[in-house]
Amino acid sequence: MPDQRARRIADAITPLRVEPGRTVRLGKDFDPRYKADFVHKKDGKELLQTGVALLADYQARLAAQDVHGVLVCLQSLDAGGKDGTIRHVMSGVNPQGVHVHGFKVPSAEELDHDFLWRYAQRLPARGEIVIFNRSHYEEVLVVRVHPELLDRQKLPAKAKGHGVWGHRYRAINDWERYLTDNGIAVVKLFLNLSKEEQLERFLARIDVPEKNWKFSANDVKERRFWDDYQDAFSEMLSATSTPWAPWYVIPADRKWFARICVSAVLAHTLIELDPRYPVVSDEDRRQLLTVKAALELEAPQKDRHRREAVPG
C-alpha cells in the first residue's frame, strides 16, 4: 500500500471518528447528510469498487497470516442501512473468511447468562472478519430505552440499580481492551440516520412490494422513542469511544456515501494491522523443492517437458 494512499484514507475518516473523552450530542455534532466535498455521486461506484478490491486483498492476507481477527460492530436506528452496507462493502471478500451475526431479542438461554455472554460466543477467530449486525451495544441502547428489558435479564438487585449504565460502559470498554490486547481489532460503526430520511425509508418499505418484508409495525413504535434513542446513542458514543476501539459516526442519509465511508474505515483498520503472507524459511523452501522433484517423477513425460519450458 503506497503511504500516500494510506494517508488519504486516514485523513478522509478523521472527521467521522469520535475522539476518546469527547462528549457527543448527536443532533448538534454529526450531520446525517454530511458528504465530503471531494466525493461526488458519479464517482461513488468506482470508489466503492476500489474499496471492495482492497478489502478482498487484505482479507486474504489476514486469513493467511492467522494472527489478527477483526470484529466489526454495526449499529443504527431502524432503516439505517446495515444490511445493504454489509452486502455492498463485503461483496468481494472470500465468504470463508467472513461471518455475519445478527442479534435479535435474546432467548431464554441467553437471558440466563451475563450480558456479554452471547456476543462472546460469536467473536472472530484469528484470521477472520466477523460482522455484528447489531451488537453488545444493544445492551446500552434498546435495553436502556426500554427498562422493562433490563428487568427480564434476571440480574441481582445490586447489578441493575443506580449506575447500571456506567457499569456496562466500563465492562464493555474493558472487554474490548482485552480483545484488542489479544490481537482482535474492534471496529465500531454507527450509521447515523436523520428522522426525515427514516420516514422516507419506512414509506418506501410500505410502497414497494419487494420491500414489504422489511417493514415491521414495531419499527414505527420504536420511532416514537426517537429522542430517547438519540440520547442513548449520544451517551454511548461519549462513554465508549476509546483509544483502542474508537467509534465512527457514519453519515447515513446518502446510502452510497455511507458505504464508501464504511469501506474506508475497514480499509484503514486493515492497513494498520498490515497482515502479511507468511514467509517460507530457506529450510522449508528446500523441502518444497525436494517434494516437487518427487511429484514431477509421477507426472507424464510430456507435462514434465512443458513445465520445464515455463520460466520460474
Interface ranges with ligand AMP (CB under 6 A): 102-106, 134, 138-139, 142-143, 149
Min dist. Cβ of residue 105 to ligand AMP (A): 4
What residues contact 44, with CB distance under 8 A and at least 6 apart?
256, 257, 259, 260
Q: Please give the residue whose beta carbon sits closest to ligand AMP in the complex.
A: 138
Min dist. Cβ of residue 111 to ligand AMP (A): 9
Report the residue number, 105 or 204, with the smaller CB distance to ligand AMP. Answer: 105
C-alpha grid cell, residue 217: 409495525
Report the residue number, 39 or 142, with the smaller CB distance to ligand AMP. Answer: 142
- Asked if residues 18 and 237 have their Cβ atoms less than 8 Å apart, the reply is yes
Report the residue number, 21 or 102, with the smaller CB distance to ligand AMP. Answer: 102
Closest CA to 255 of 173, 179, 192, 310: 192
Report the residue number, 69 or 106, with the smaller CB distance to ligand AMP. Answer: 106
Min dist. Cβ of residue 139 to ligand AMP (A): 5
Task: Residue count of the chain, please give it.
Answer: 312
- Asked if residues 237 and 6 have their Cβ atoms less than 8 Å apart, the reply is no
Q: How far apart are CA 310 and CA 312, in angstroms?
A: 7
Closest CA to 175 of 117, 102, 249: 117
Min dist. Cβ of residue 178 to ligand AMP (A): 21
Min dist. Cβ of residue 200 to ligand AMP (A): 18
∠ Cα 123 261 71 (to 5°): 5
Report the residue number, 198 or 269, with the smaller CB distance to ligand AMP. Answer: 198
